[in-house]
A and B are shown apart, each in its own frame.
Chain A
Amino acid sequence: EAGVTQFPSHSVIEKGQTVTLRCDPISGHDNLYWYRRVMGKEIKFLLHFVKESKQDESGMPNNRFLAERTGGTYSTLKVQPAELEDSGVYFCASSRRLAGQETQYFGPGTRLLVL
């Protein structure tokens, strides 16, 4: 079974540009999460999809961030326009509930550097 994959692994862009991150969850996982780790800080929750619906987007920092999960499969996170403080590692995780248990499986992350 393939794990959570993220693309690209690294991205270097200039302030003001647009970047789109992609996450492919484990097949059959309805839940998809985005997290971010800014350098030197803790990993912070951004948002949670259940299938194609946004269940919780309380962690989205501002309206420059747009997450989509059309069709309930892969998800994209777009940052437009990017600012310096958006630099960090963006993690995606997916999960499904099985026998009352649920574990989030994480991807390797996308390292974003905004110059």
Chain B
Amino acid sequence: AQSVTQLGSHVSVSEGALVLLRCNYSSSVPPYLFWYVQYPNQGLQLLLKYTSAATLVKGINGFEAEFKKSETSFHLTKPSAHMSDAAEYFCAVSKNQGGKLIFGQGTELSVKP
């Protein structure tokens, strides 16, 4: 069975600081991995996805994530946080390109001025 663990339900950073949101997965097959973001009162928006083409994946809004098979991790980073990055972030895994997504618990990111 597949599962996802996001370490830290709340992360707070200062504007301009590095953003690091952690995600570890468990999968019996090569996984497809996703990061979604939810801004207040909006739906989930795809930030980036890993589909085995490249281990370092670049997404929208300056975010990127690195797939590390040995660590079963897919951490999300951004070099410099902006106030507009404040949102909830979800890591997800699936067995296939299509099909159901298994989500982590979500991480609420706060950005302090």
Question: A residues touching B (Cβ–Cβ < 8 Å)?
Answer: 3-4, 31, 33, 35, 41-45, 48, 56, 58-59, 91, 93, 95, 97, 100-109
Q: Which among B18-26, B63-71, B79-87, B103-111 touches the partner chain? A: B103-111
Contact (A108, B41) CB under 8 Å given A44-B103, A45-B100, A102-B97: yes
Mostly, the B contact residues are loop
Q: Are A59 and B100 neighbours in the complex by a CB distance under 8 Å?
A: yes
Within 8 A of A (CB), among B77-103: 90, 97-103
Chain A residues with CB below 8 A from B97, complex form: 97, 100-102
Q: How far is A109 from B38 in the complex, measured between Cα atoms in Å?
A: 11
Chain B residues with CB below 8 A from A56, complex form: 99-100
Within 8 A of A (CB), among B34-59: 36, 41-46, 49, 51
Q: Are A31 and B102 neighbours in the complex by a CB distance under 8 Å?
A: no
Q: How far is A59 from B106 in the complex, measured between Cα atoms in Å?
A: 19
Contact pick for B99, options A43, A44, A48, A109, CB 8 Å: A48
B96 to chain A: closest residue by CB = A102
Question: B residues touching A (Cβ–Cβ < 8 Å)?
Answer: 4, 36, 41-46, 49, 51, 90, 97-106
Tally the A-B contacts, defined by beta carbons under 8 Å: 54
Chain B residues with CB below 8 A from A31, complex form: 98
| 25 A–B contacts from the bound complex (CB under 8 Å) | A4-B43, A31-B98, A33-B100, A33-B101, A35-B103, A41-B105, A42-B105, A43-B44, A45-B100, A45-B101, A45-B102, A48-B99, A56-B99, A91-B43, A93-B44, A97-B97, A102-B97, A103-B49, A105-B43, A106-B36, A106-B43, A106-B45, A107-B43, A108-B42, A109-B43
Question: Distance (Å) between the CB of B11 and the closest chain A CB?
Answer: 17
Chain B residues with CB below 8 A from A3, complex form: 43
Chain A residues with CB below 8 A from B99, complex form: 48, 56
Q: Are B104 and A97 neighbours in the complex by a CB distance under 8 Å?
A: no
Q: How far is A91 from B104 in the complex, measured between Cα atoms in Å?
A: 15
